Structure 1
Amino acid sequence: MKDFSIIIPCYNLGDLLPKAVKSAMKQTLENIEVIVVDDASPDKKTQKVLDEIEKEVKVIRLKENGGVSVARNAGIEASQGKYILCLDADDHIEPTYLEKAFNIFESDKNVGIVSCWLKSFGSTDAVWTPEDKVEIRDALINPPVHTASCFRKKDWQEGGIYDPKLRGFEDWDHWLRIMKIRPLVRVIPEFLFNYYVRSGSKVETSNRNSFELTSRIIENHEDLYQRYFSYVIAKKQEIFALNVNEMRAKELELESVVNLLRQKNEEIELIKNSKFWKLREFYLTIKHWLIFVFLNPRKFIKNLFYQPPKPLQKVEVDKKIEKRGDEIKDFKDEIAVIKQFSESNNKPSVRINKRKLSVVMLSLNRLEDTKKSIKALYENINFPFEFIILDNGSDDDVVESLKKLAEQKSNIKLVLEKENLGCAGGRNKAFSLATGDYILSVDNDIIITKYAVENLIETLENNKEVVGACCKTVFPDGSIQFNGGDSTVKGKFIKFSLTDRGKKYNDDTTFEQTTCDWIPGGATMWKSFIIKEVDIDPKMKGSFEDNDYSVMLKKKGFALSNCPKAIVIHNHINFNKKAKEDKKYIESRYNQERIKAALIRFYQKHGLIIRDCYLSELKLDINDDDALIEYFEKHKT
């Protein structure tokens, strides 16, 4: 028999699992065993990690995903330890934890649970110092200890199992079961448990479903809640009263701040209405115009007779872009103004947690654009990040340049493909190598601006249900290409549109953060867990891979958003004469057979025909809905 068994359930956390296992194996208590229970993880990377770990510790592989309670019970059933510790795959413990817990258990047979103080890291930095010798009646109000607390296997066998029907608060339910058998709880007054809080983690899901989960706890322990009913109600009333008092104090504090601001505002208005201020304003206006006239007289005269153009409709914008051709000009001045605007106006309102970031970029020739894009990343991301560049079969000279660049930057992982995997295949492969909490997917003709990354992170941090957010993507002339995307479904047809297309980048109406039906993927940040959970369809090789991926995510109940304060500049080929002359890029990007195959693939999956100009490539009347439906039905299989 072992003194202790550490049970580590794992589901798709291969990147974090080794640290948890390492902390378990470094315990100063020697007679222990470590058991990892794979809860049917579909993630290939996690499976590879499990294969490696299996050389050192016991691994149990469940055939079906049953949740953490099922995984823990399976591990405990197979264990040989006298005492048990369940450790989540993204957490870790200090070396002396089990030795100190073992000594407490051995010295007092009445002890049912041994815990310690907790320190969290990740999206939340906090501490929790549970009370020693907590009573069972207080455990009915809140969990008495954290998830990584120790208990006797004998008590688990006598009824202290984890409830497989609970998907949240299963630890609380488990501790109440143990305390019914052995009510004494001891807490080691040291920070021996490190708890990782992930965005989108099970804890956040539990918080959203707390009412339903608490109802299940009460149902499981109805006898205890009946016995201590009066005490529980009284304590809950105390907690409610404390919360109300705190809210009132905050309201008074806010009211005093508002009064102070009003007072300051009145003082400012008095100054502005004074004769001195009006004289000052008049002086500055005259000074401005005199400088303008003397420095740039031609522009001054032009502005006197300048008439602003009428706003362009979407169709006019599209035609204007298509007709540019050889009229492409240098937009350096416009780009500089956009960058300055972003730096001056888009600073995040709160301090962003510097989570681990992975940046993924695909490249296919267009070396000069790639260099500009990479330069902007290093200039505007002011904290360490992982950078994965996947080249989709560029010419040899481009590949050599990328190799030299990768040698100069220690954070670059360069992946060279001999054949073009397409956008979907390339992103899937690059995403599989990313280890960050967030993944920024950025095309090699995108220039990010100041604070774009911070604003994307802020959007994802503040909107827990959102798994992906796209930038406000702007053409070099300052007009918006997209600020998110919408869709409309009519019968068997779906029409995708680009939000705020053609508007000016600084238009006040374009700064509303909102959920989207779909988001283009060329300048988008994702929460890493969703990339591992849902792959981009590699068969969407030609186009519409972003539309398809968005539809898949929405069907699974996930939300998408725009991020208007994250401005990026798109060096689109219609603004880039050199890119237009790159035959390899053009043939890949606008391959008609691939686009046709993507349209058919989308119909096969979703039963919807994308109403787009590319339908004309099918040599059918794009206005004849019946003919289009007949064509797609014929090619459905």
Structure 2
Amino acid sequence: MDASNCMLSVIMPCFNHGIYLQDALDSIKKERVNFSFEVIIVDDGSTDAYTLTKLDELKAEGYTVIHQQNGGPAVARNTAIKNAKGKYILPLDADNMLTPEYINTGIAILEKGEYQVVYCTPVFFGDTGADARTFQSIPFDITELLAANYIDNCAMFLKEVWVKNNGYDTNIPYWGHEDWEFWINAYANGFKFYFITEKLFHYRIVAASVATQFKDEKKKADNQNYIVKKHHQLYLDEYLKLNYIRKKYTTDIKRFLFAPFIFSGYLLNVIKSPFKKAEERFAKKNTTG
């Protein structure tokens, strides 16, 4: 493949998930993808014999396979992206699957230049049950994102996002929240997000995976504290904005005789809502400050 014409790099960290690798690769149908792409597989210190044999087979078939000591998802993704030739990046875990439509739709959106990150809704399959770690993807809202992650790692983004973010943060105390911090960092660096409502990739629920540690409340709390401290100014700004909005609405409700007219004005866009006022007020503050 001509590196100068490579539009997309699909990066795949793999740790002992060789049994799923072929499914992931087969899900990317070259004849149905409208853009040039490459696949980079990073073996994150696998010890499973089947996985190691499968990786050797894929290397013989011409796939780019990079071996490294086990360092976790963030390190593996950074390694892959450092070697990526694509204008855009799409991380794909070795046990998940893409659809060609995701690539075609996502790149078409990114190429317009208004957005730098595109994500969609996943289809969950595998060990789905009452305790399965599923999540609800929603349209981008920074307030919601600061509270909890709803954007899966399998999101397409301009490689420049990774550059400006200084890569995935490898200093987070425990593996599993590096993608959440990456999206917060991307927002803080001025990048814009686009949400595709269609279900365009398949997320496999695996009983024994990095995600299972999300049930460990101490690890989860340690990671959250790390992220809040790192992005404390963004969290503070958002808190101040929400507090401003709460006070404005509380004032409106106390003026109960006029409240129906005021809220009707908000709905009809005749009166500027507290949300709009907050956006303008804090945007101005951030610009001048």
Correspondence list, 1:71-470, <5 A: 71-107=76-112, 109-124=113-128, 130-132=137-139, 134-159=140-165, 161-166=167-172, 167-208=175-216, 209-230=219-240
Any conservation in 1 of the 2:77–2:168 contact (CA below 8 Å)?
yes
Question: Residue type of the partner of 1:217?
Answer: I
Native 8 Å contact 1:94 1:192 kept in 2:
yes
| Alpha-carbon distance in structure 1 between the residues aligned to 2:115 and 2:103 | 15
Local SS of the residue matching 2:100: coil
2:54 aligned partner:
49
State the secondary structure of the residue aligned to 1:190.
strand
Distance (whole Å) between structure 1 residues aligned to residue 192 and residue 94 of structure 2: 28
Gap change, CA 1:232 and 1:8, over 3 Å in 2: farther
Residue 163 of structure 1 aligns with an amino acid whose one-letter code is: D
Q: Give the Cα–Cα distance (whole angstroms) in 1 for the partners of residues 244 and 177 of structure 2.
A: 23
1:211 and 1:47 mapped to 2: Cα distance?
A: 35
- TM, length-normalised to structure 2: 0.75
Q: Is the 8 A contact 2:95 2:204 kept in 1?
A: yes
Task: Write out per-residue CA displacement over residues 485-514 of structure 1, whole angstroms, 9 at most, x where no aligned residue.
Answer: xxxxxxxxxxxxxxxxxxxxxxxxxxxxxx
1:29 alignment counterpart: 34
Contact 2:91–2:155 under 8 Å retained in 1: yes
Instruction: State the 1:231 CA deviation.
Output: 5.6
Matched residues in 2 for 1:152 and 1:179: separation? Answer: 13
User: Retained in 2: the 8 A contact 1:137–1:231?
Assistant: no
**What secondary structure sits across from 2:18 in the alignment?**
coil
Higher RCO (CA 8 Å, separation ≥ 6 residues): 2
- Whether 2:75 is the aligned partner of 1:70: answer yes
Give the Cα–Cα distance (whole angstroms) in 2 for the partners of residues 36 and 181 of structure 1. 28
Post-superposition offset of 1:205: 0.6
Query: Does the CA contact (< 8 Å) of 1:141 and 1:232 recur in 2?
Result: no
Task: Name the SS for the 1:139 alignment partner.
Answer: helix
Deviations 1:532-587 (A, max 9, x none): xxxxxxxxxxxxxxxxxxxxxxxxxxxxxxxxxxxxxxxxxxxxxxxxxxxxxxxx
- Superposed displacement of residue 29, structure 1: 2.8
What one-letter code is carried by the residue in structure 1 that aligns with 2:138? E
Q: Deviations over 1:226-248 (max 9, x none)?
A: 2112467899xxxxxxxxxxxxx
Q: 1:232 to 1:37 in 2, by over 3 A?
A: farther
| Inter-partner Cα distance in structure 2 for 1:39 and 1:58 | 14
**1:111 aligned counterpart, secondary structure:** coil
Cα deviations by residue, 1:121-178 (Å, 9 ceiling, x for unpaired)? 112268755223x232332112141110111101211125111123121110011111
Change in CA separation of 1:29 and 1:136 when aligned onto 2, cut-off 3 Å: same
Question: What is residue 263 of structure 2 aligned with on the other side?
Answer: none
Tell me which residue corresponds to 1:620.
Answer: none
Counterpart-to-counterpart distance in 1, 2:177 and 2:138: 19
Q: Which amino acid aligns with 1:103?
A: A
The DSSP-based 3-state class of the residue aligned with 1:17 is: helix
Task: Supply the AA of the counterpart residue of 1:72.
Answer: R
Corresponding residue to 1:10 among 2, 7, 14: 14
Task: Classify 1:182/1:230 alpha carbon distance in 2 versus 1 (closer, same or farther; 3 Å).
Answer: closer
What is the CA–CA distance in structure 2 between the aligned matches of 1:28 and 1:85, rounded to whole Å? 14
- Which has more radius of gyration? 1
Secondary structure of residue in 2 paired with 1:223: helix
Give the structure 2 partner of residue 491 of structure 1.
Answer: none
Cα distance in 1, alignment partners of residues 121 and 18 from structure 2: 26
Q: CA deviation at 1:48?
A: 0.4
Deviation at 1:66, TM superposition (A): 0.7
The amino acid of 1:59's aligned partner reads V
The root-mean-square deviation of aligned C-alpha atoms, in Å, is: 2.2
**What letter is aligned with 2:118?**
V
Q: Which runs of 4+ in 1 moved over 4 A?
A: 125-129, 230-235
- What amino acid is aligned across from residue 219 of structure 1 in structure 2? K
For residues 21 and 188 of structure 2, the distance between their equivalents in structure 1, rounded to whole angstroms, comes to 33
Residues paired across the two proteins, number: 232
C-alpha separation in 1, matches of 2:136 and 2:7: 26
What SS does the aligned partner of 2:34 have? coil
Q: Which residue of 2 aligns with 1:630?
A: none
Within-5 A mapping of 1:494-505:
none
2:64 corresponds to which residue?
58
How much has 1:212 moved relative to structure 2? 1.1
Percent identity of paired positions between Structure 1 and Structure 2 = 31
Listed as ranges, the matches of 1:499-578 within 5 Å are none
Normalising by structure 1, we get a TM-score of 0.35
Instruction: Give the unaligned 5+ runs of structure 1.
Output: 236-637
> 5+ residue gaps in structure 2?
246-289
